[in-house]
A and B are shown apart, each in its own frame.
Chain A
């Protein structure tokens, strides 16, 4: 349809000022038939109502019209001013503030789904096309087609940015963007200013927007299962996009960009995000690693899947506003000493805590507390970046990690845990070593060892591996449990010392197999004649750990300040380290309790407290302990130790 008039408007560097003009005095819809002309003093609501009516009418009419020439022959394509007005009405101000220089900034916002028209998310645009004979026609164009045209002709820089942020290059580009946490408030203000001017900001804001749109789509799909297939495809696409961005960005990047894009018009709010000093806000801002809150948060929210930024923000808000939450919540299914620490105390300790804890162990189920302590040390030094999911088989996975260390130096025969069975060929009882749990990677895993026993005694096929399964999951009626062999145990009753199991082969319980042995190990040397067997010495020889005896508070604080990854560990009497939890009623009573110290804090009175996780504490709940109690605990154990050893050492690697 040919236009009768042509408004003298093309977005330019004075676009911002013109937006106001357009809104108030700009040309009306050429298709609208309203008698009323909204004036300066009409309410915004009225303006929007009238606009939407006109807009819909325009779309309806344009849908039925076609250009009288091929689009490739068009001399120029521009946005219809009435459509621009729609963008101004329906889009968020904060994104409009990114239009700094020219129309290309506006196109970048459209490309990145940051603007909305009266129809919502923009898929099609109303444009004015100049024909080869210089006549103007209004029509509807697909967003992709429009952007291809304008980027090719007018906005070559945006075209390049578009390529840099496409799926093929996204990861590399994001790495190079280098999002950093400002050190001072002034740094933050400068950073904010440069971000607003940076042409890639709309491309970055696409990420939180896609996550937001994807979340909404997910809710719609869940709520309205009966939606038509075409709608489902659109919404599923949005969910896939969201998942792509969630997968390919770190929590810090997600939160950083969400904060930036949410506060494009407020530098104070943006900088406030980086100024909070509690551990929870620091996780959100990326200053603290995620594991300092994610495990506690997942447990608090009772969620097994990865946490969304929104969930983390919810936890941070709760932990900050209701500090008592952490006293009782956060260790469900991972038993440890109770009650836990208050969130605000925990926040202080986590801010200074050095130990890397990308797992949630189960101290209450590991009877030998040395194993818990050693596992924590191993995870800190050996594979700190690997997240370990211990939800389903915590005891066996920790035993396996511990056993691996032990078996690297020992003969299999000296391993204490064994499965005993009656060898029908030799007519005698035979005991073979095993490591508790599935652990398919090793021949000594319980499942494999049991498979070999059944091969000998029950004619099971060679290479059979029994599946170790919790009694809650084992269901003989199900097809998957009908064939093969299973070692069924009860996770609730299973500790490293006592874990009753049933052996099921071809749906029948196998009798005559028994488990023996207990995981006894010297944590530190106990016998002068045999010090190499102690776990600390195995770690020293195999993993090149270095130790330094720490005898005073100043030695500890000095040592912990030397390097980023150093820890201190030791063994002391529980009644001295945690006197409020354990009382002594016998002379020379001392329950040896291993512990790890990974930092210290000074309170307002400059009094030093050590950030300590005893082997019975939840790994995500370190506590502050006065040095006097630690000293008393280590000293009292030293008095009754066979070698009279002082057992508090710094670890370095």
Chain B
């Protein structure tokens, strides 16, 4: 009898128990697992296939952007400037699990299919209206700044971090002469440094207090937004600060947000003019809860925008803000259904207009 009860219990609890989310799911014409980038309105879709190809779908036509070994994996990043897209190719994605391995990084004009290799590393990012790209080589601990307009203009910064082989720095460019990046000191405490190309020197503008804190930052308009999030069970809590970028002094700051709990963070900036997004810890007594929140930079108010219970990442993709969760992709902001293509919709609208005019 006891074993029957155990069996019944196993059956009952063999499926994960959580409430369904009310957030819209992302639907695409391509299988979701192949999609790598969908532009606003679905005009351009970059997707990969099992043969190791990255393709661009535009005007009902698919064109190859790059071909690697079968099973290759591609990842793309973009910004609001929509001038370039950066992407990496990992040709041994499924047979060489490595977080540190440098990958080939390419750039492609937004909506175009001609790709140029720009370097070897990880975490490619676009800066200054897509005129600069940065990427980081974890093995060599070198951060590279590559000008995208003139390939010959390039500089590098070697990081101090020797303690965490999996540390990837945050990077921001204030202008082509002044950059910000995060690093770990010899004890493993994080900080933010400003590097002026003319001086060839780095100077700390924010120093962490513990190895158990994570520092994130981004440029949002004229301000540098710095998020400090405690790790594990530390009692550091969370705070988000704002520094005016003007003058590059970073001495004045204002506190935008503070919490006693350690939020996950993973901030998204520059998606909206006056708001940032991050993953907040909303746990209370017995129940643990993590959700995506939107913080208004003017009112400093946070608003919970997800309902999944254990949110951990917010991914921006052009005009959309997405929440990947347990194999599904929820849409936090932007259009969710890309099943019907943009051209067909336009045609339908035109036909409707014509009909109205006839009437």
Cβ-closest chain B residue relative to A646: B327
Interface residues of B in 54-109 (CB under 8 A from A): 71, 73, 75-77, 92-101
A-B contact count (CB 8 A): 183
Q: Which of A498, A558, A641 contacts B139 (CB 8 A)?
A: A498
CA distance in complex: A558, B10 (Å): 9
- In terms of DSSP, what is the predominant structure of the interface of chain B? loop
- Please give the distance in Å from A616's CB to the nearest CB on chain B: 6
Q: Do A576 and B312 contact each other (CB < 8 Å), given the known contacts A367-B101, A551-B14, A554-B13?
A: yes
Interface residues of B in 308-333 (CB under 8 A from A): 309-310, 312-313, 315-317, 322, 324-327, 329
The 8 A CB mask of A153-193 against B (1 = contact, 0 = none) is 00000000000000000000000000000000000000000
Interface-lining segment among A12-20, A78-86, A626-634:
A626-634
The 8 A CB mask of B316-356 against A (1 = contact, 0 = none) is 11000010111101000000000000000000000000000
Verify A632–B326 contact, CB threshold 8 A. Answer: yes
CA distance in complex: A586, B35 (Å): 11
Interface residues of B in 214-257 (CB under 8 A from A): 214, 216, 229, 231-233
Verify B166–A616 contact, CB threshold 8 A. Answer: yes
| Cβ-based interface call for A638 (8 A) | yes
Interface residues of A in 601-622 (CB under 8 A from B): 605, 607, 615-616
Interface-lining segment among A207-215, A251-259, A282-290, A591-599:
A591-599
For B165, the chain A residues whose CB sits under 8 A away are 335-337, 364, 616
Cβ-closest chain A residue relative to B324: A636
The 8 A CB mask of A267-278 against B (1 = contact, 0 = none) is 000000000000
Cβ-closest chain B residue relative to A555: B14
Q: Do A642 and B71 contact each other (CB < 8 Å), given the known contacts A518-B96, A632-B326?
A: yes
| Cβ-based interface call for A447 (8 A) | no
For B188, the chain A residues whose CB sits under 8 A away are 328, 338-339
Q: Which of B10, B77, B212 contacts A339 (CB 8 A)?
A: B212
Verify A369–B98 contact, CB threshold 8 A. Answer: yes
| Cβ-based interface call for B37 (8 A) | yes
Verify A639–B97 contact, CB threshold 8 A. Answer: no
CA distance in complex: A91, B94 (Å): 70
For B18, the chain A residues whose CB sits under 8 A away are 628
Most chain B CB neighbours (cut-off 10 Å) among A367, A582, A623: A367
For A636, the chain B residues whose CB sits under 8 A away are 324, 326-327
The 8 A CB mask of B3-15 against A (1 = contact, 0 = none) is 0001001100111
- Please give the distance in Å from A168's CB to the nearest CB on chain B: 52
| Cβ-based interface call for B149 (8 A) | no
Verify A593–B99 contact, CB threshold 8 A. Answer: yes
Q: Do A588 and B312 contact each other (CB < 8 Å), given the known contacts A552-B15, A555-B10?
A: no
Verify A592–B97 contact, CB threshold 8 A. Answer: yes
Verify A337–B164 contact, CB threshold 8 A. Answer: yes
Cβ-closest chain B residue relative to A339: B211
| Cβ-based interface call for A280 (8 A) | no
CA distance in complex: A327, B235 (Å): 14
- Please give the distance in Å from A478's CB to the nearest CB on chain B: 29
| Cβ-based interface call for B293 (8 A) | no
For B216, the chain A residues whose CB sits under 8 A away are 583
CA distance in complex: A626, B317 (Å): 28
| Cβ-based interface call for A347 (8 A) | no
- Please give the distance in Å from B9's CB to the nearest CB on chain A: 7
Verify B315–A586 contact, CB threshold 8 A. Answer: yes
Most chain A CB neighbours (cut-off 10 Å) among B6, B312, B315: B312
CA distance in complex: A553, B18 (Å): 13
Cβ-closest chain B residue relative to A337: B166
Interface-lining segment among A67-75, A519-527, A538-546:
A519-527
Q: How many residues of A contact B (CB 8 A)?
A: 67
CA distance in complex: A579, B50 (Å): 28
| Cβ-based interface call for B33 (8 A) | yes
- In terms of DSSP, what is the predominant structure of the interface of chain A? loop
Most chain A CB neighbours (cut-off 10 Å) among B14, B15, B95: B95
| Cβ-based interface call for B276 (8 A) | no
Verify B310–A626 contact, CB threshold 8 A. Answer: yes
Verify B315–A589 contact, CB threshold 8 A. Answer: yes
Verify A585–B97 contact, CB threshold 8 A. Answer: no
For B6, the chain A residues whose CB sits under 8 A away are 558
Verify B75–A589 contact, CB threshold 8 A. Answer: yes
Verify A616–B310 contact, CB threshold 8 A. Answer: no
| Cβ-based interface call for A574 (8 A) | yes
- Please give the distance in Å from A457's CB to the nearest CB on chain B: 31
Q: Which of A327, A522, A593 contacts B95 (CB 8 A)?
A: A522
For B324, the chain A residues whose CB sits under 8 A away are 576, 584, 588, 636
For A368, the chain B residues whose CB sits under 8 A away are 96-98
CA distance in complex: A362, B164 (Å): 12
- Please give the distance in Å from B126's CB to the nearest CB on chain A: 11
Verify B315–A584 contact, CB threshold 8 A. Answer: yes
Q: Which of B97, B187, B315 contacts A587 (CB 8 A)?
A: B315
For A299, the chain B residues whose CB sits under 8 A away are none
Verify A639–B95 contact, CB threshold 8 A. Answer: no
Cβ-closest chain B residue relative to A362: B165
Q: Which of A553, A581, A638 contacts B166 (CB 8 A)?
A: A581
Verify B288–A607 contact, CB threshold 8 A. Answer: yes
Verify B233–A342 contact, CB threshold 8 A. Answer: yes
Verify B279–A328 contact, CB threshold 8 A. Answer: no
Verify A579–B279 contact, CB threshold 8 A. Answer: yes
Verify B16–A552 contact, CB threshold 8 A. Answer: yes
| Cβ-based interface call for B305 (8 A) | no
For A327, the chain B residues whose CB sits under 8 A away are 211-212
CA distance in complex: A508, B288 (Å): 64
Most chain B CB neighbours (cut-off 10 Å) among A328, A498, A522, A591: A591
The 8 A CB mask of B248-282 against A (1 = contact, 0 = none) is 00000000000000101110000000000001000
Q: Do A345 and B76 contact each other (CB < 8 Å), given the known contacts A338-B163, A575-B313?
A: no
Cβ-closest chain B residue relative to A373: B97
Q: A341-B232, A342-B233, A587-B76 are in contact. List 14 more A-B contacts (CB 8 A).
A: A338-B164, A338-B166, A345-B232, A370-B96, A523-B97, A551-B14, A580-B265, A586-B76, A591-B97, A592-B97, A605-B286, A635-B326, A636-B326, A636-B327
Binding site for A on B (CB under 8 A): 6, 9-10, 13-16, 18, 32-33, 35-38, 50, 71, 73, 75-77, 92-101, 123, 125, 139, 163-168, 184, 187-188, 211-212, 214, 216, 229, 231-233, 262, 264-266, 279, 286, 288, 309-310, 312-313, 315-317, 322, 324-327, 329
Q: Pull 5 A–B residue pairs with CB atoms less than 8 Å apart, ordered by A.
A: A580-B262, A586-B315, A588-B32, A588-B35, A591-B97
